[in-house]
Structure 1
Amino acid sequence: MRSVQPGDVAAVVALLTDGVMHDPVAEWLVPDPEQRRTVFTELLAMDVDHAVEWGTVDVLLDMTAVAIWRHYPDDDLLSRRHLATITDTALPRFRHYDAMVNAYRSPAPHHWLAWLYVAPSHRGLGIAERLLARHHQVVDRLGIPIDVVVTTAHGRDFLHHHGYGYHARLPRQLPGGPKLWPLRRAGRPVPVNRTQARRST
């Protein structure tokens, strides 16, 4: 595994676009498959590029798996102007979805798991677990939580098994669409050695 470089953005976007084509929330946001691919290719190009600069993006060496982590409050979301330009007729649903997701976003420092995706050919090999563990070490040194909104029951159960608990009232239902599961992994500050603490004072 390694961190993504700017030159990797196109490959990451292609990987995530393939994955999002069958995501229930993406299908609700943009029902037409052709439009869905166009919209998410453009959105992900901006999203991944921004995350490379301001967040953390980890990939498998062969580009078959990726985890994208946003850092709040330092990270900025896509502007409303960009969202309106890219989503076109799907804008009302994107706005509704964003309002629901943002309701769980804390103003306190935390990391946000934006994407965790493994290509179907590489599933069942423990890759998602390794991507999580890689970044869990980072947030544990910082002592801050991780928030995420999950779009499938499988993703919910997987993250719950890895220490993510239910956050707020669950689940939330999109109008005429699928459920959302907001989850949180609580901050786990690394214990300070007492001898070291005395030396630093």
Structure 2
Amino acid sequence: MGVVIRVAEEGDRELVVRLLDEAFQDDPVSNWVFPSEEHRRTNHPGLVGAFTDIVLAEGHVDVTEDGSACALWLSVPAGARHDEDGPARLRAAVDPDNERVELIGRLTEDIHPADRAHEYLWMIGVAPGRQGEGLGGALITHVLDRCDREGLPAYLEASSTRSRALYERLGFEFTGSPLDLPDGPTMWPMWREPRTS
């Protein structure tokens, strides 16, 4: 039986934030942004909450019907400009003393392609006890099928070798320019051209 996917609504916000927080507690990039486990447990929910609020307002969040996985997507138009003050505002709202909250935003904005319209997978999270069941792949394929029909590419930054392998299986290709976080892990910008039938 297939995975049932629906678009999240405002009432799903806490579910989405909890899922993303749980799924990213052991993620290399989240651990770099919040190196202390106690600090991460306290402040990480605020960061993924801010991301969720942005995407609920400007994009769309897909969630599995059983609430075990979610994906945050933004439609990025060609020539889109970054909000220069966005990373600083995010830091001020989430964790004012943590410069890495702002830095990760600036670094990922700097590598984000701007020349072509595309779908941007900002985050995807699967409940830790449900990982490996194909839920993440189903959520991504749900949007990639539309991208293929509409001739739209897709973009993301993989934050671990495990996620990079999943994205490669789904047709994403590493752009060739990794993002090495200062004294931290590597992120892999990945692009997928639409597939034609």
Counterpart-to-counterpart distance in 2, 1:75 and 1:3: 26
With over 3 angstroms needed to count, the CA separation of the structure-2 counterparts of 1:75 and 1:129, relative to structure 1, is: farther
Q: TM-score, normalised by structure 2?
A: 0.86
Indicate yes or no: 2:52 matched with 1:45. no
- 1:86-141 Cα shifts (integer Å, max 9, x gaps): 222212x2333223211221223111111122112222322122111111122223
Equivalent AA in structure 2 for residue 103 of structure 1: D
- Determine whether 1:174 maps to 2:178: no
Residue of structure 1 equivalent to 2:75: 71
**Gap change, CA 1:75 and 1:60, over 3 Å in 2:** farther
Alignment of 1:1-201 (within 5 A): 1-73=5-77, 79=86, 80-91=88-99, 93-107=100-114, 108-169=116-177, 171-188=178-195
What SS does the corresponding residue of 2:111 show, helix, strand or coil? coil
What is the CA–CA distance in structure 2 between the aligned matches of 1:148 and 1:101, rounded to whole Å?
10
Question: Match of 1:89, SS?
Answer: coil
Task: Give the C-alpha shift of residue 150 in structure 1.
Answer: 0.8
SS, match of residue 71 in structure 2: strand
Shift in Å at residue 56 of structure 1?
1.8
The Cα shift of 1:3 comes to 0.8
Quote the Cα distance in structure 2 between the aligned partners of 1:85 and 1:65.
Answer: 26
User: Alignment RMSD, CA only?
Assistant: 2.1
| 1:155-176 CA-partner distances (Å, limit 9, x unpaired) | 011111110001142x332121
2:142 maps to a residue whose letter is R
Output one character per residue of 1:30-62: Cα deviation in whole Å (capped at 9) or x when no partner. Answer: 112222233221222222122123212111112
What is the rounded CA distance, in whole Å, between the counterparts of 1:25 and 1:98 in structure 2?
A: 12
Deviation at 1:84, TM superposition (A): 2.4
Runs of 4+ in 1 over 3 A off after TM superposition: 73-78
Determine helix, strand or coil for the equivalent of 2:97: helix
Counting aligned pairs with the same residue, the percent is 28
**Gaps in structure 2 of 5+ consecutive residues:** none
1:54·1:75 contact (CA, 8 Å) conserved in 2? no
Partner AA of 2:103 in structure 1: H
Give, in angstroms, the shift of residue 75 of structure 1. 9.6
Give the partner amino acid of 1:32: S
Number of residues paired by the alignment? Answer: 188
Amino acid at match of 1:7: G
